[in-house]
Amino acid sequence: MHKNFIKDVIIGVSDGLTVPFALTAGLSRVVNTNHLIIVSGLAEIAAGCISMGLGGYLAGESEVEHYDTLLKKEYNEIENVPHLELKEVQDILINLGVEETLSQQVALQISTDKDRWADFMMKLELKMEQPEKNRAAASAGTIALAYLLGGVVPLLPYIILSDIKTGFVVSCVVTILALIIFGYFKCKATGQPPLRGTMKVTLTGIVAAAAASLLAKAVS
């Protein structure tokens, strides 16, 4: 699975589980009906999807623009100071373990094609890969959908159950389980220690909900 897709899913689900969970937990302490919690929760999820999706889109656009700017700079340097760029290619090859004489030959071969030369410099000098086409739109859609899926979890018990106290308890149980499962798979996807990473994700959600609940109670 592509790393950018995984990153976007993690961003969306992480906030989608945490923020609506904190909101619904806080409201459940100060209201007597599920209606307000449901309406507020749906409004927050809608706003979160738009906000997070827009943030993902702008980040994707910035990534593409940054890459294009640096690529244009590499083409300019190849055109205006080719001897310096050729020396940089040789240095890169030598650092990779290629013998000096052979590195000169390889560098000259690479320099026969400006597109290949620029691509070489982007990948091996600047450590940058060309962003995918429609990266910004794909990122926005993935983050927004992931936020929606995450946000439904803490809100759904209030929609199904009529009693607000029961809804609160079920919401807490279901969301904490979802945080544990999400935390585990996040760690597996990112290579983090499973136990530590899972506890971190879960405790973040619990602390956010507890803080919102206590604050709402104090203000009321």
The pLDDT tens digits of the residues spanning 112-123 come to: 999 999 999 999
Hey, is 20 helix, strand or coil? helix
Q: How many CB atoms are closer than 10 A to CB 104?
A: 17
Alpha-carbon span 68 to 61, nearest angstrom: 11
Decide: helix, strand or coil at residue 153.
Answer: helix
- Return the closest-CA partner of residue 13 out of 180, 136, 133: 180
- CA nearest 151: which of 126, 182, 127, 121? 182
Q: How confident is the model at residue 1 (pLDDT cuts 50, 70, 90)?
A: very low
Give kind and range of the element (H or E) at residue 24: helix 3-28
Residue 191: pLDDT above 90?
A: no
- Both tokens assigned to 56: 């993902």
pLDDT band at 217 (very low <50, low <70, confident <90, very high): confident
Q: Which helix (H) or strand (E) holds 202?
A: helix 194-219
User: What average pLDDT does range 152-162 have in this prediction?
Assistant: 95
pLDDT tens-digit series, residues 3-31: 888 989 999 999 999 999 999 999 998 88
Query: Cα 54 from chain centroid?
Result: 13
